[in-house]
Amino acid sequence: MIYTTGYTANSASLQSLLRKEDIAIVDMAVHASVYEGCLLTNRKSFPHNDLQSLERILKDVQGSYRTKMIIIDGVYSQDGDIAPLDKIRELANRYGAYLMVDDAHGIGVIGKTGRGAMELYSVIDQVDFITGTFSKTFAGIGGYVIAPPKVAAYLKFQSRQHIFSATSTPAVAGIIKAIELIDQEPQWQARLSENITYFKNGLISLGLDVGITGSAIIPVKIGDPHKTSDVGSMLLKAGIYTNPILYPAVAKKNARIRMSVMATHTREHLDKTLNAFEHIKRVM
């Protein structure tokens, strides 16, 4: 099922699937669109990747709701870390919950053939609902939900955001080619992987805190929001576009510069950025 954005894929599908009798159990770090999708249902959140808390909630809600759905990201958008999908699937099975994975940042990047965090953990056939976006690896605009055919048909008739709003333009068909290229030209994924390793190691050797990223999202954690904005401006002046991430996207004390490494970045690009960070570290 195609939606006009990844945001709508999450918000519309969840609003259609989960109601007052149901409960969404979400990792605290999921994307804002998931939170919006849960507005018509009950919601409990567990601390990021904390499996004990997740299990506690699953135990607490046993027998109380019609449908339980665990909702997580495959790759988290601010830290770039990957969810322990195998363990979460196991918990979902044990307590009879559905599992929805938003792999917006995993598809095309993670897994042997680019099939995302689900491929990395060999659970591709065990995720009930996969959602994602065309705005990252596929370099387009749009979003999708992968679900059994009957559920996809139900979403088509139940999603107000789909029925009462313009649909995707024919240009979205270009995404089909982008999907084919992931299989046909694996060298891009390999090159991305090399770039990620090179850039991440470079930042670490400068003594910068990149956290626990396992993907193309590389944060440089600074903490103070004012300092983070200043670093963003200095990088921009040096000709480098990054995303300074501040509250409410992250907690107030967790401000960071967030970067996304691409396969088309050259060594020159990456070195220029590393040199800029080195300079900023020296003068700040």
Ligand X SMILES: Cc1ncc(COP(=O)(O)O)c(C=O)c1O
> Which residues are near ligand X by CB under 6 A?
5-7, 10, 31, 33, 73, 77, 102, 104-105, 133, 135, 143
Given the complex with ligand X, which of 81 and 102 has the nearer CB atom?
Answer: 102
CB of 29: closest distance to ligand X in angstroms?
A: 9
Measured from the CB of residue 102, what is the shortest distance to ligand X in angstroms? 5
The distance of closest approach from Cβ of residue 103 to ligand X in the complex, given in angstroms and rounded to an integer, is 8
CB of 133 to ligand X, least distance (A): 3
Pick the closer one to ligand X by CB: 5 or 189: 5
Q: Which is nearer to ligand X, 2 or 238 (CB)?
A: 2
Q: Which residues are catalytic?
A: 77, 105, 136
Distance CA 159, CA 189 (A): 34
Dihedral angle of Cα 156, 138, 84, 11, to the nearest 10 degrees: -30
Is 73 or 79 the residue whose CB approaches ligand X more closely? 73
User: How far apart are alpha carbons 185 and 45 in whole angstroms?
Assistant: 39
Write down the least CB distance from residue 135 to ligand X, Å: 4
Amino acid at the residue 87: K
Closer to ligand X by CB, 5 or 228: give it.
Answer: 5
Q: Is 54 exposed, middle or buried (0-12, 13-18, 19+ CB in 10 A)?
A: buried
CA 30 – CA 85 distance, rounded (Å): 14
Closest residue by beta carbon to ligand X? 6
Q: Are 6 and 33 in contact (CB under 8 A)?
A: yes
Tokens 């099975």 correspond to 93
d(CA 48, CA 3): 27
Is the separation of the CB atoms in 277 and 257 below 8 Å?
A: no
Written as six digits, the tokens of 268 are: 């020159």
Token output for 105: 């940042």
Residue 148 in tokens? 């059994």
